[in-house]
Chains A and B, each alone.
Chain A
């Protein structure tokens, strides 16, 4: 590439870079919430978290429909809940860390480093 990267960055608007970075964070978060369990593909979102917690509370067998419309028998609820929470915490903590970092960016170059 003939042009220097810093020249290209200097010609780009700060707000555009910031908007794009935040938009990307949201996408990364949504992608990171997926996890697999016993052949099913689940999303560790608010709905799954609260629904599973409710079923677990009543000590009933947990059968879930995954994001692929497959019925999955959650034979070991404790393991499932651990995986669910771990996925959620990991994804949201990463989002928080990255979001705070982006908020502190003051130079355009920070967005591509």
Chain B
């Protein structure tokens, strides 16, 4: 059964996601040793040798900074029978996610995120709304191509297409579109049908929020500096990290490529 990782990269005026995807692919190749494919609408900044397959889709006219709505079609686009889908800004520094391949679960979703100082994330990041569901993160998930995962992604598409309606029903007041909300709602509806095919990612997503900068890069992990919190330094070597500050990633582009080559 074919296994691999799928990334999405759509550049916008502010962030070159394709360059970030190059770094993500380097980390994945080193630590998971699985083929990495990418879906993009451009491809000019990708380093082709890092990727197994580059799937180019039509360019969108949407000018918003985060083009999350276009991250659909996981099931159809993935060239693998078993796929780990991760955000390009989630850097893997261990091989733990290899345990997911061959799982009896059709889907494994992430439900826990923590800060890089190992404290829980803010309440608004733990739940989609004050009196609503716990957050399911779209940052990193695994699926096996079968009827169950197909049904889940069909449901994801339905929630996405009727996003405003579902936000209203689930009490979401945040006007910004988030794939995390879509996944949370879809998971809730899906589990409501009594199908126990969704597993839970046992690894928390360690998230470096925008106030944290990368201090140094090594093949074992990243070290961060948080200037707001008393200029604290956090060495996350051995742990995977979700880096929300895209500027700091691109500032360390050369360092990343040097470390992984």
**A30–B48 alpha-carbon span in the complex (Å):** 36
How many residues on chain A are close to B (CB under 8 Å)? 30
Within 8 A of A (CB), among B225-257: 225, 230-239, 251
Count, A-B residue pairs, CB within 8 A: 84
A59 CB-CB contact with B under 8 Å: no
A12 CB-CB contact with B under 8 Å: yes
B213 CB-CB contact with A under 8 Å: yes
**A72–B104 alpha-carbon span in the complex (Å):** 9
Find out whether the CB atom of A70 lies under 8 angstroms from the CB atom of B105. yes
Partner of A12, one of B94, B108, B202, B233: B233
Question: For B225, what are the chain A residues with a Cβ–Cβ distance below 8 Å?
Answer: 8
Contacts A1-B213, A1-B215, A112-B215 given; indicate if A24 touches B236 (C-beta within 8 A).
yes
Minimum Cβ distance to chain B for residue A81 (Å): 18
**A23–B118 alpha-carbon span in the complex (Å):** 7
Question: For B251, what are the chain A residues with a Cβ–Cβ distance below 8 Å?
Answer: 1
Minimum Cβ distance to chain A for residue B146 (Å): 13
Q: Which residue of A lies closest to B118 (CB)?
A: A23
Find out whether the CB atom of A8 lies under 8 angstroms from the CB atom of B118. no
Question: For A32, what are the chain B residues with a Cβ–Cβ distance below 8 Å?
Answer: 96
**A24–B222 alpha-carbon span in the complex (Å):** 12
* Interface residues in chain B, defined as those with a beta carbon under 8 Å from any beta carbon in chain A: 94, 96, 98-100, 102-105, 108, 117-118, 196, 199-200, 202-204, 213, 215-216, 223, 225, 230-239, 251
Sort A-B residue pairs by CB-CB distance and give the 3 closest, nearest first: A39-B104, A36-B99, A68-B199
10 A-B pairs (CB sep. < 8 Å): A12-B231, A20-B118, A20-B233, A20-B234, A20-B235, A24-B238, A36-B103, A39-B102, A41-B99, A68-B199
